[in-house]
Amino acid sequence: MSCPICGKDTDPRYRPFCSRRCADIDLGRWLKGGYVLPGDAAEDGADPLAEDLPSGQDMSGQDRGPSGGPSGRLN
């Protein structure tokens, strides 16, 4: 098996990479968004997770009052 970054033989300590350097290069690519799945781009300001929430609930699962704040009710 060869290193996906440089093509050298892999080292069992860093598998599937050949060295710590190549492993770090790969991690940097992940953190900077270098690896992405193809798909439709999200609209600016859109929260994809908010679409899954029942109406009237925030991310914590608590009901929101009419002003958008907590309603004071316990779930």
The answer on whether 18 is annotated among ligand-binding residues is: yes
CA 68 to chain centre: 27
E-state strands within the chain: none
> Which runs of consecutive H residues, i.e. helices, occur in 1-75?
20-31
- Specify which residues 2 forms β-bridges with: 9
Detail the residues annotated as belonging to a binding site. 3, 6, 18, 22
Binding residues for Zn(2+): 3, 6, 18, 22
